[in-house]
Structure 1
């Protein structure tokens, strides 16, 4: 099966005179229906990578293909119909006076007939559980609700790929969980491909694979279990420690002999119950 996203030897500089490229010879492939988390410290190239995928930035070298179609200036609008992007601050994406107007904005730009537009607006807001807020002003919504409306605006366009560019970083823990649950539901219903640029361990844990960026290069990739097993080295990779790893570190300090391999919360509960609490 051909990848839905294929990047070959991508290099990008923001200024011609930059000695260190923002992206340096990056190659990767992503298949339809995958959830990919992209992690790394600020300045590692995560957001730049995402912006080249949907054509906001065009690389100086290398090729990018979306669903077999090469990204270039001629087909940039076709590419953006396939790749939707949700940014960190939803307020920067709102243009309508009401929630339904805002979701309809992108559809109007694409010349979608009004009858079809009304159906898509209603369906997309129902998918993110915001249909009851159709007539509300976006400015009166909570952070999590705003981000769900921003996601609805992308879903209405029916892309194959959704990129979350630190889309949960400004939210409180409840809002983060709310948005992640919404994206998971939409992904499963529509077999979407999701790229999540994040520092949030819970968001990264939803991924099929994690890509680690450093100084413009893709330095590591693997399943969450493979990446999370790095333990305290995760901090160097731009992620916090997962709760089970923090708990293991605390138990080790208390003198307990803890497993060395990575454990999910469920496995940690099982281990605690069978190996510690029953003794």
Structure 2
């Protein structure tokens, strides 16, 4: 099956002859319907990578294909219609005086007929459970609600791919869970491809695959279980560990025999209950 996204030997620098390029020989592919998390410390190249995928930045070397089309200056607008982006601060994305006006903005720019626009706005707001807020001012919403409206604005455009560029980093835990739950439901209903650029290891755990960036290079790739089982190696590249993995390390230091495989929080609770607390 042809990948929906394919990067081959991508190079990008913000300054000519930069000693450490922002992206250095990066190659990977993504299949339709996958959820990919890209993690790494600040300055590792995560957000730069996201911006090359939708043509906000054009690489200096290498090639990018989206939907089977190689990205270039001639087709960049066509490819951007396939790739929706949700950014870190939803306030920077709002342009409408009401929630429904804001969701309609991108559709108006694309020249979508009014009848079709009304259907899409209503459908998008229902998908993010914000239809009852349609006539509210965006400024009066909570952080999680604002981000769900931002997602609705992207969903209304019906892209094939959604990129979350640190989209939950400014939210509290409840708002973060709200947004991730919304994306999960939309992804499953529409077979969307999701790329999550994140510092949040728990958010990354939702992915099918995780890509680890360091100093502009792709240094590790695998399932959440494969990546998180690396333990202290992940810390060495400037990243945190999910809480269950931290707990396993702490228990192991106290002489408790722990499972080798990666455990989600739910599986950790089950294991603690059946193997430790009931002994």
TM bucket, shorter chain: over 0.9
Which residue of structure 2 aligns with residue 197 of structure 1?
Answer: 197
State the aligned residue count: 279
Structure 1 range deviating more: 42-51 or 249-258: 249-258
Instruction: Determine if contact 2:225/2:261 at 8 Å carries over to the other structure.
Output: no
Query: Following superposition, which runs of at least 4 residues in structure 1 exceed 6 angstroms of deviation?
Result: none
1:238 shift after superposition: 4.2
- The aligned runs of 1:126-275 (5 Å cut-off) are 126-275=126-275
User: In the aligned structure 1, how far is the partner of 2:226 from the partner of 2:158?
Assistant: 33
Residue by residue, what CA displacement relative to the aligned partner does 1:238-260 show, whole Å, maximum 9, x if unpaired? Answer: 43221211222332344423334
TM-score using structure 1 length? 0.97
Task: Give the 3 Å change call, closer, same or farther, for CA 78–5 of structure 1 in structure 2.
Answer: same
Residue by residue, what CA displacement relative to the aligned partner does 1:194-223 show, whole Å, maximum 9, x if unpaired? Answer: 000011122101100000001111111000
Structure 1 range deviating more: 107-116 or 15-24: 15-24
User: In the aligned structure 2, how far is the partner of 1:187 from the partner of 1:236?
Assistant: 32
Gaps of 5+ in 1: none
SS at match of 1:19: coil
TM-score using structure 2 length? 0.97
SS at match of 2:81: helix
Gaps of 5+ in 2: none
Structure 1 range deviating more: 166-175 or 234-243: 234-243
User: In the aligned structure 1, how far is the partner of 2:237 from the partner of 2:257?
Assistant: 26
Which residue of structure 2 aligns with residue 74 of structure 1?
Answer: 74
